[in-house]
Every structure is written in structure tokens, then in C-alpha cells.
């Protein structure tokens, strides 16, 4: 099939780009289409597997040479005709397919636009789609039901909201599934033999960047804060990609009434005629909003009498024993999405009752001697950490990790009064320490030991050792236990990514749970945890 790198001669351009305009269903003519798939992880594997099934000529490239990558490559070769090129040299230029330029690149969402191969595609005018764009174009298939899409993005709260929306849809008797950035690739759901009524689609800013023609029934951007600036190049570019969630929305473009940026996104979006702008707020809602009144989640948007009344959806107590403000906001956003789709109030309430929060999101690990131990490892940026800190009054805060270039000044300034002590983890704590010195100078800071900050990750990004990560967290938990007293909350909300000392935020959270159970309660976690 080929696989040689393309040269940079300007006369080499795709011969059949108009063909892509016709590829808007599963039953379109995909056979023989020359496609490069970048990445052999979850989304890349799903894209390659799908394209092979459609009869496309596929070359998969990835810089990885790990045993897992090689196993994925072997699997793809077994299921169909495909070339897989692994190693750093494989991702520096566009490979040729049958001695011709590819007609399309389908990229995994984490690949930056300035990556060498993707930059080469742009120079050669080869279109680049993400796996979500590919899925959208394949959603219609003869003899199968076409699932409607409800799309969710935001800096924080996406996974909780998409899970709640899924639960509400299912409570209404619909066949629905949470897909996208949440874990299940949309392409896998499309090939599932189940005829789904609806997809609750979690979209990252990366996935939105590579999407072009989505048209969801309803959409929401939950919130925005500085994040992934290193990937997008600027905060403005990050916001622009987040705003794409609203483009071509059919029925309801849902925004956070407490954050003007999301409202402006809706105002500037090119939506389908008749689409409504619907706000959500943790305060009393105005007309065409969902909000909170006397401890109840209510709807003043999707009822006929919305000018002077509201429909009760659920009680805040239905959200569980710990229901911080951002959890209420997530529930309201999910409710707005499904109400736009036609789900009744009773199903919203039942969906909230049925929903089981994921681990590492304001997870109550222990309440020992009147000290709460909370795992919020999912708080990988200052905005998420701020939401977690806001839920508690007197906090011993475990924080730190890969900062991704963000600023901690506002976070520390806002929450300094509630900080009793700070226990730092992470290999580079300079920015966070500086903010603490400037805005919380009287708060004790327990810095990591020298051994904790020595590099444990290669330049290629190999995962940190599990044993190393668990040792780091055990020390942090022990330090927190020394300063915490009855009435305090020990909150692990790092405000940073995890990959300097852990393999993932889940690994970091699991290490916290293990350390808390062993030190505070004297037991390891059970298999049900």
C-alpha cells in the first residue's frame, strides 16, 4: 500500500478532495479512500478499525514503540489491509499511499495542529478530521436508527454532566449512552448492534478543534477557564474551539448564566433557525433558564407557564451528601439538555437518583474523627480546584503537579481564607509556591522532599512508576494527617495534571484513597471501591 514519506514539492496536491463532500453516511463510497490515521490509542484505533471496515486504504502512524502500540498494530493488521508505521520517524511527514498523497487525515484529538505531520497536511491541502467528525459523517446507516446527539464541553464538569444526561435519558426509557471523551469512542457506539436513540457526547477542546460539521439537537459549554494553553497556543484560541460546540445546534444552545463567556459564545454561534438560548444558574432562574429555588432544581425554560412559574425537577439533597455548587450546575446543565430533547421532569429526578458519581470527583474517601478526606484528583486545573475548594470551609489542601502553563494567582487569592495548610506534591511547585507566598503568607506550606521532585518521566512521556506515585501520596497524606484536626477537610484537588509523578489522574486518586485507608482507617481499599 505504501508508506514512504512525501516530499515537499508544491505540485503534489490531493486529486480528489471533492469526494469528501459526498461522504456523509455509512453507505457512502468510502472504498479505496486514502486515509492516514494519526495515533494508535483508543480513538485512533477505533478510527482505523472503522475505516478498514468501510474499505478505505489506511496507514496508521504513531511515535510510540511500546508493547501496547505494537499489539494494537498487530490487531489492526489482522482485521484488515492496513499499514502501521511506528516510531519517531513515522510522524515527521505525510506518508504516501499507493504512491499518492492521502486524501484525508483522521487525527487523534491529542495531536497538536503544529505537529509536523499535521502541519505537512495543511501545507499540502489535505483535509484533517478528528474521530468525532468522522463519526458524525457515519451516523446515518441504512436499516439502522440514527441516534441524536447532545453535546457537552467545558473546562470542568464534562464527565459528570454527560453521565447525568445519560442517566436521565435512560430513566425516560430511551436507549442512550455516554460517548466521546468520556471513554467510549463514538465510532464504537455507532458499530454497536444496539439502535440507540441518543448519544450524550463529551467533547474536549481538542476534539472540537478537529470537528467541522456537527449539528447536535442540544449543546452546552459548562464553563471556561485557562487550560491547555500549551496545546491551543493562546487562551483566545482555546475559547474559539470550545465555542464550536454551539455551531449548527438545532433546538437549544445552553449556556452558564454565571459566566458571560459562554453566553457570548451562544450569541455569536451560527445555529439552526428556531434554536433557543437556554441559561442555567445555581441562583434563582429568570425566564428561559433552569436554576435553584428554595433548595429545589427547577425549570423555567421548557414549560408553557414559564413566564410566572417553574417546574420542579429535583431537590439538591437528591445529589448526595456532598453537593457542591458546581455539582448542582452540572445537574442543571444535564437537565437542560435532556429537557430540550423532550425528557419529562420525573425522568430528570429519577436520572439524578440513579446516577453514580465517578471516582476522583469530590469523592468522600473517609470521615474519621470528624475529619473529611476528599479525593478530587480530577481537578487538573485551577478552575476545577476552585470549585472543589469552594465546597469546604477549613481545608488542608494537597496540591501540585504539571501546571500546563496556567496561573495560580487568582485561585490562591480567592481561597486563602479557607486554607489551614497546604501539602505540595509534584516535580515543579514553583508557581504554586509563589502564589501562596504572595496571597497566603500565613498559611503553612509543606513542600515535597527533594527525592519527590526528581524526574521520574522520560522525555518521551513514559508513565511514572506506580510504586513511586503511591510513595509520594503516602507521604503527602501523612503530612496532612499531622496538621488536620476535627472539623477540617483534607482535600486532594491538585489544580494540575498528574503525569510528572503518576500515570494518570485516576492513578493519583487511587494512590490517595489507598494512603488514606491505610493511614487513617488502617485498611486497604476493597475491590468494590
In terms of pLDDT, which residue wins out, 31 or 15?
31
Give the structural domain span for 47.
29-126
Same structural domain, 323 and 380: no
pLDDT class of 469 with cuts at 50, 70, 90: confident
pLDDT > 90 in the chain, percent? 71
Same structural domain, 156 and 230: yes
Residue 142 neighbours by CB distance under 10 Å:
7
20 located within any domain: no
18 located within any domain: no
Q: Which of 354, 386, 405 is the last residue of a domain?
A: 354
Same structural domain, 368 and 280: no
Cite the annotated binding site by residue number.
Answer: 154-160
221 located within any domain: yes
How much is the pLDDT for 232? 66
267 located within any domain: yes
Same structural domain, 332 and 210: yes
**pTM for this one?**
0.76
Return the residue matching grid coordinates 488502617. Answer: 522
Same structural domain, 316 and 185: yes
pLDDT > 70 in the chain, percent? 89
Is the pLDDT at 32 greater than 90? The verdict is yes
Structure confidence by residue, pLDDT tens digits, 338-352: 999 999 999 999 999
Same structural domain, 427 and 488: yes
283, exposed or middle or buried, with CB in 10 Å at 0-12, 13-18, 19+?
exposed
Q: Provide the CATH number for the domain around residue 38.
A: 3.50.50.60
Nearest Cα neighbor of 202 from 174, 173, 178 is: 178
Instruction: Count the domains in the chain.
Output: 3
Cite the annotated binding site for ATP by residue number.
Answer: 154-160
Same structural domain, 511 and 372: yes
Structure confidence by residue, pLDDT tens digits, 57-83: 999 999 999 999 999 999 998 888 789
Same structural domain, 223 and 278: yes
Same structural domain, 295 and 204: yes
Tell me how far apart the alpha carbons of residues 151 and 249 are, in angstroms, rounded to a whole number. 9
Residue 313 neighbours by CB distance under 10 Å:
26
Q: Provide the CATH number for the domain around residue 250.
A: 3.40.1190.10
380 in Cβ contact with 494 (< 8 Å): yes
Same structural domain, 48 and 72: yes
C-alpha separations of 171 from 217, 220, 330, 341 in Å: 19, 21, 17, 13
Q: Which of 307, 334, 354 is the last residue of a domain?
A: 354
Amino acid at each position: 500500500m505504501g508508506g514512504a514519506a512525501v516530499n515537499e514539492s508544491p505540485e503534489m496536491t490531493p486529486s480528489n478532495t471533492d469526494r469528501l463532500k459526498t461522504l456523509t453516511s455509512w453507505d457512502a463510497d468510502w472504498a479505496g479512500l486514502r486515509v492516514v490515521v494519526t495515533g494508535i490509542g483508543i480513538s485512533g484505533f477505533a478510527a482505523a478499525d472503522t475505516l478498514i471496515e468501510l474499505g478505505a486504504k489506511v496507514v496508521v502512524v504513531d511515535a510510540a514503540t511500546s508493547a501496547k502500540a505494537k499489539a494494537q498494530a498487530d490487531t489492526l493488521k489482522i482485521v484488515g489491509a492496513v499499514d502501521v508505521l511506528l516510531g519517531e520517524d513515522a510522524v515527521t511527514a505525510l506518508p504516501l499511499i499507493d504512491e499518492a498523497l492521502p486524501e484525508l487525515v483522521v487525527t487523534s484529538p491529542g495531536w497538536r495542529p503544529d505537529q509536523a505531520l499535521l502541519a505537512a497536511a495543511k501545507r499540502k491541502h489535505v483535509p484533517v478530521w478528528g474521530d468525532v467528525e468522522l463519526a458524525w459523517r457515519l451516523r446515518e446507516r441504512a436499516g439502522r436508527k440514527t441516534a441524536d446527539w447532545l453535546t457537552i464541553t467545558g473546562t470542568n464538569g464534562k464527565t459528570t454532566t454527560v453521565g447525568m444526561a445519560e442517566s436521565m435519558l435512560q430513566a425516560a426509557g430511551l436507549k442512550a449512552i455516554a460517548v466521546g471523551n468520556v471513554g467510549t469512542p463514538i465510532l464504537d457506539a455507532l458499530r454497536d448492534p444496539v439502535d440507540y436513540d441518543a448519544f450524550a457526547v463529551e467533547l474536549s477542546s481538542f476534539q472540537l478543534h478537529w470537528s467541522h460539521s456537527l449539528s447536535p439537537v442540544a449543546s452546552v459549554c459548562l464553563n471556561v477557564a485557562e487550560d491547555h494553553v500549551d496545546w491551543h497556543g493562546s487562551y483566545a484560541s482555546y475559547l474559539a474551539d470550545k465555542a464550536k460546540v454551539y455551531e449548527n445546534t438545532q433546538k437549544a444552545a445552553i449556556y452558564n448564566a454565571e459566566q458571560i463567556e459562554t453566553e457570548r459564545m451562544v450569541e455569536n454561534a451560527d445555529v439552526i433557525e428556531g434554536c433557543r438560548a437556554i441559561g442555567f444558574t445555581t441562583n434563582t432562574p429568570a425566564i428561559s433558564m433552569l436554576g435553584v429555588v428554595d433548595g429545589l432544581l427547577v425549570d423555567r425554560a421548557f414549560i408553557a407557564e414559564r413566564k410566572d412559574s417553574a417546574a420542579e425537577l429535583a431537590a439538591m439533597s437528591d445529589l448526595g451528601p456532598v453537593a457542591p455548587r458546581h455539582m448542582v450546575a452540572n445537574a442543571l446543565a444535564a437537565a437542560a439538555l435532556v429537557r430540550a430533547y423532550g425528557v419529562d421532569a420525573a425522568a430528570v429526578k429519577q436520572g439524578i437518583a440513579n446516577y453514580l458519581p465517578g471516582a476522583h470527583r469530590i469523592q468522600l474517601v473517609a470521615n474519621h474523627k470528624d475529619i473529611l478526606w476528599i479525593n478530587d484528583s480530577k481537578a487538573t486545573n485551577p478552575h476545577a480546584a476552585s470549585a472543589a475548594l469552594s465546597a469546604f470551609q477549613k481545608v488542608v489542601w494537597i496540591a501540585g503537579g504539571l501546571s500546563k502553563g496556567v496561573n495560580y494567582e487568582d485561585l490562591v487569592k480567592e481561597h486563602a481564607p479557607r486554607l489551614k495548610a497546604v501539602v505540595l506534591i509534584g516535580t515543579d511547585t514553583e508557581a504554586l509556591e509563589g502564589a501562596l507566598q504572595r496571597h497566603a503568607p500565613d498559611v503553612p506550606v509543606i513542600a515535597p522532599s527533594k527525592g519527590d521532585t526528581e524526574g521520574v518521566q522520560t522525555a518521551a512521556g513514559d508513565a511514572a512508576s506506580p510504586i513511586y506515585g503511591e510513595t509520594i501520596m503516602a507521604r503527602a497524606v501523612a503530612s496532612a494527617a499531622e496538621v488536620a484536626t476535627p472539623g477540617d477537610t483534607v482535600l486532594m484537588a491538585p489544580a494540575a495534571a498528574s503525569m510528572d509523578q503518576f500515570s494518570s489522574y485516576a492513578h493519583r486518586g487511587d494512590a490517595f484513597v489507598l494512603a488514606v485507608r491505610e493511614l487513617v482507617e488502617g485498611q486497604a481499599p476493597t475491590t468494590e471501591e
